[in-house]
A and B are shown apart, each in its own frame.
Chain A
């Protein structure tokens, strides 16, 4: 039954014609991107190149992976069918699961990374986002999802331990935990940079807390389970809060919401602690509903905006920073740093944590890993393309004035305009003041982190369609709010997940800590986790060299190294299950990812340019400090001290991540060699074969053959019996 799929076995003339047309559109768009030099091109070409390539890749490459490489078998019952308990295991309609999975993987990453990578021009980013997702990112998500599904939804860490051994398992666990801490620190830093001295933004974000508490109580006490009602009320209140922020800004209350970065750090750390110890129903769950709704809505809005407004790209195709590696936003040349920076939109290791665990326990049919694993990642990649367009449509002078570190730009419009001029771009102090006034912010200078830049880009695009220039400030704060909202949701959930990991690990040493309900253990581990990411956040805001400049590469390296662990696991499992000849499907992305990431780690640790190498930087500032000198951009000896401490810690972390990943890869190599030499396939932890009794479509739309099957589950409620076939949504399912 794995043969059931769109198009059937033989190619029909109509299908050949359609796919040829898609290929031609994609190829023409790529041609325009490649050949245009000097003239400003329309963003539509980027969109066409992306969508054309995604369609071809999904239709052909993902089908090849599903059928040949993985051998998905729809006669085999999935864990959702075998272990159906109506709680965590239950067969869920593929379209619903696609929505859940997409909401879980998409976040601020694909929005922020491409904005920073726009420093290298739009072309390198576009190529990597599209090629990377097709050959690496979507493959990783789909293959991890498949293997976890075959193992009853085991987590990445469990699979590494069971399939490779305790050494690799321990290394993977430690890597996952420390990577998560860096992730939370950097994401929180993006929020702080977006909210610092912005009463409008701070007020609207602060209001999300009472709104979430209200929704929590509504769902608990007033109308249990009416999520839609609560969400509609919540979103309405949220829009009011955004509009209210504009009023607060001009009122005497503005002072109370104008916070320094340091104060915001304290607020976030305290908030993170409470979010982790309070019951989920009160804060985390309602906030999650809000953020998911806003996420999907805004991404949709942005897609409409980009298509309708079709802005021209003002950014260059490839900037000089890509080649000489001295860009102000982040240092280092195109290889490897563009790949490190874009991370989430092309290949994201964190997705392996989602693709193993929750999603595989709910999948109806094995063949659906293609739609959910590969398909959802293509959608995320498209989000990254839109973010790149929004950033590249901005005037380059404004882009650099917003994204270069404060140490370089100074604090006044004049100093910033002069600094941008030195970089080779033109912007006048008046332009900078006008840009800030248009979005009703005090300043747009040195607002690194990607979120403010993207918000300006989004406000340009959306105000062109909805509301005109008078709405620029609203759309700007709308965009800031939605980014901050789902970053904070990630921080909530991440702190909690980190706390569980810590409790689990420490529980091996001292039993009571492992008990989820033991309050002192819960408070202690929560505090440890928030203090850990809080440290990086604080280091980020106080670093004179610019927190984003220093920490974002570390975040990218961490994410990509996690991808290396996931791809290593996938390759090992392919080889162990006797599919050595198909192992290249994950081995090639692994080799590329390892080459990129280990080069980047190597450079961050050993490079002798203090702008790139953490230890070279440390030496430079430590020597000056010993001589009692102050090096700019540091302003005093205290700041010199900060630089020395931060660069030491960052350097040690970069080295540690790389070593952990090398340990996992080494462990995998031993297992792979053993598997290749063995006469019989090595034992794996795969769950035994059980015959499936349900039939459900593989693709987004059901085919006629699938609908005729007697056990067809269609859009039934997913009870797994197929008895209630085709109620509700079924008749809406036009092919």
Chain B
């Protein structure tokens, strides 16, 4: 494992775990399934976080 590949792994991991990569995934998915223009980042993130209003996700002791 070179330092560079380690760095790119860390970057990939952090983007995944914080959910930053989700918008890219949404774009890819949207392009594949629908011809309509996709939501902007702002609109998408708003929807994404508002979903947690109904499902905050349990945190354990």
Contact = CB atoms under 8 A, between A and B. Distances in A.
Q: Is the interface on chain A under 10, 10 to 19, 20 to 34, or 35 or more residues? A: 35 or more
A611 B48 CA distance: 51
A99 B18 CA distance: 10
B12 A280 contact: no
Contacts of A733: 9
A475 interface: no
Q: Is the interface on chain B under 10, 10 to 19, 20 to 34, or 35 or more residues? A: 35 or more
Contacts of A717: 16, 21, 24-25, 28
A87 B51 CA distance: 9
Dominant secondary structure at the A interface: helix
Contact of B50 (A228, A281, A490): A281
Given A724-B28, A729-B13, 17 more contacts: A88-B55, A95-B13, A108-B61, A187-B61, A219-B45, A220-B46, A224-B41, A224-B42, A289-B18, A354-B60, A492-B59, A715-B12, A717-B28, A719-B25, A729-B12, A731-B8, A734-B1
A99 B19 CA distance: 12
Contact of B20 (A225, A280, A728): A225
Can you list the 6 inter-chain pairs with the closest CB atoms, starting with the nearest?
A: A732-B9, A109-B61, A729-B12, A728-B12, A225-B45, A224-B45
Contacts of A284: 52, 56
A516 interface: yes
A93 interface: yes
B33 to A, nearest CB: 10
Interface in A489-518: 489-490, 492-494, 496-497, 500, 516
A166 interface: no
A520 to B, nearest CB: 17
Contact of A288 (B24, B44, B59): B59
Given A225-B44, A731-B8, A494 B17 contact: no
Contacts of B48: 225
Residue in B9, B22, B57 whose Cβ sees the most chain A Cβ within 10 Å: B57
B29 A86 contact: yes
Interface string A101-131: 0001111110000000000000000000000
A21 interface: no
Contacts of B22: 225
Given A225-B41, A285-B49, A717-B24, A493 B56 contact: yes
B20 A227 contact: yes
Contacts of A63: none
A729 B8 contact: yes
Contacts of A285: 49, 52
A694 B11 CA distance: 24
Interface string A344-363: 10001011011001100000
A96 interface: yes
A227 B18 contact: yes
Nearest to B57: A358
Given A281-B50, A732-B1, A719 B20 contact: no
A86 B25 contact: yes
Contacts of B61: 107-109, 183, 187, 344, 348, 350, 490, 559
Interface string B1-41: 10001101101111111111111111011000000000001
A279 interface: yes
A354 B57 CA distance: 8
A500 B52 CA distance: 12
Given A225-B45, A350-B61, A496 B56 contact: yes
B59 A104 contact: yes
Interface in A40-55: none
14 contacts: A86-B29, A99-B13, A104-B59, A107-B59, A109-B61, A225-B20, A225-B44, A280-B56, A344-B60, A350-B58, A350-B61, A354-B58, A494-B58, A497-B56
B41 to A, nearest CB: 5
Residue in A108, A109, A225, A728 whose Cβ sees the most chain B Cβ within 10 Å: A225
Nearest to A95: B13
Contact of B13 (A87, A96, A219, A724): A96
A280 B9 contact: no
Given A279-B53, A729-B12, A490 B28 contact: no
Contact of B23 (A104, A225, A280, A724): A225
Contacts of B8: 728-729, 731-732
Contacts of A526: none
A718 interface: yes
Residue in B13, B41, B46, B48 whose Cβ sees the most chain A Cβ within 10 Å: B13
Nearest to B20: A227
B60 A105 contact: yes
Contacts of B26: 86
Residue in B9, B22, B41 whose Cβ sees the most chain A Cβ within 10 Å: B9
Contacts of A104: 57-60
A68 interface: no
Contact of B17 (A99, A105, A489, A516): A99
Contacts of B45: 219-220, 224-225
A228 B12 CA distance: 12
A228 B18 contact: yes
A348 B60 contact: yes
Nearest to B28: A719
A226 interface: yes
Nearest to A109: B61
Contacts of A87: 51
A571 interface: no
A490 B41 contact: no
Nearest to A351: B60
Contacts of B56: 280, 284, 492-493, 496-497
B60 A353 contact: yes
A88 B16 CA distance: 15
A90 B21 CA distance: 13
A496 B53 CA distance: 9
A311 to B, nearest CB: 26
Nearest to B1: A734
Contacts of A732: 1, 5-6, 8-9, 12
